[in-house]
């Protein structure tokens, strides 16, 4: 898409209203992209940075409030040690190099997951990036790092148990609202739209609690080939859907 076509698409999306407040993306297909070109897997991850920029800048242009990217899962630690080292080195370099670009787009940065499991150098770079962007007021970019949906729920249960086990801690019935406060970022609203690239039809242990009622849009595009036009396709599809959250449609109500 040309810049003119993208601008027109943005105007159409904004005119429709009903924008997702929070978009979450499973960035899949880096390895396949590299393999098809006879390149090492890390080359696919490096190429995938382009998709990250397209998603961040597209969401920022539309006024989306939150974008969560499934960056590195708890299961990814089981990959070959050389690949994990390369990924951690690339993550550190990317955090350092992309801060200015994020700042130019008024983006805040957060991270969720078992951050303590990351190498110290990565944790330090991440902390510097988060701190340098903390005063921005636009899109909040959330990186899911050493993240797993089941791990998050287990960690929340452990935190809840410790807190309620303390002397004088209030008991009472546990509500959904109370439980979500123990999640990694309980104050962040649930994703309205979950996008997955590469055509796979699964959520891969990503935001299990939070995506209970998310609209899902899947594209066959591999993540390194993901462009702003694909993001806009997903959001346009989202705008056509009626979210009922277990209820019935407005049309159904009129018939009864």
Catalytic residues: 28, 76
DSSP state of 148: -
CB 113 within 8 A of CB 206: no
**Structure-block tokens of residue 189:** 């609203």
Query: Which residues have CB under 8 Å from 6's CB, separation 6+?
Result: 228, 229, 232
How far, in Å, CA of 42 to CA of 50, rounded? 14
CB 29 within 8 A of CB 198: yes
CB 72 within 8 A of CB 30: no
CA distances from 168 to 87, 158, 172 (A): 45, 18, 12
Strand order in the sheet with 108-112: 108-112, 140-147, 66-73, 22-26, 193-196, 215-218
How far, in Å, CA of 234 to CA of 137, rounded? 25
- List the beta strands (DSSP E) in the chain: 22-26, 66-73, 108-112, 140-147, 193-196, 215-218
Task: Name the β-bridge partners of 153.
Answer: none
């Amino acid at each position: 898409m040309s810049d003119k076509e993208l601008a027109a698409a943005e105007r159409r999306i904004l005119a429709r209203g009903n924008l997702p407040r929070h978009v979450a993306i499973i960035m899949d297909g880096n390895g396949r992209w590299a393999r098809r070109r006879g390149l090492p897997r890390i080359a696919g991850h490096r190429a995938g940075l382009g998709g990250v920029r397209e998603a961040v800048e597209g969401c920022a242009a539309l006024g989306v409030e939150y974008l969560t990217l499934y960056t590195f899962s708890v299961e990814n630690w089981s990959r070959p040690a050389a690949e994990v080292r390369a990924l951690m080195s690339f993550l550190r370099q990317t955090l350092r190099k992309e801060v200015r670009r994020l700042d130019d787009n008024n983006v805040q940065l957060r991270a969720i997951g078992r951050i303590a499991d990351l190498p110290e150098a990565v944790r330090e770079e991440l902390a510097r990036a988060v701190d340098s962007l903390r005063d921005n007021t636009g899109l909040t970019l959330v990186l899911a790092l050493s993240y797993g949906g089941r791990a998050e729920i287990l960690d929340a249960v452990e935190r809840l148990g410790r807190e309620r086990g303390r002397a004088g801690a209030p008991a009472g019935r546990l509500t959904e609202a109370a439980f979500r406060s123990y999640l990694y970022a309980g104050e962040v609203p649930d994703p309205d739209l979950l996008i997955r690239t590469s055509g796979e039809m699964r959520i891969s242990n990503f935001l299990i609690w939070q995506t209970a009622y998310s609209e899902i849009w899947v594209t066959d595009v591999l993540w390194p080939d993901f462009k702003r036009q694909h993001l806009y396709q997903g959001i346009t599809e989202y705008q056509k859907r009626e979210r009922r959250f277990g209820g019935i449609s407005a049309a159904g109500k009129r018939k009864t």
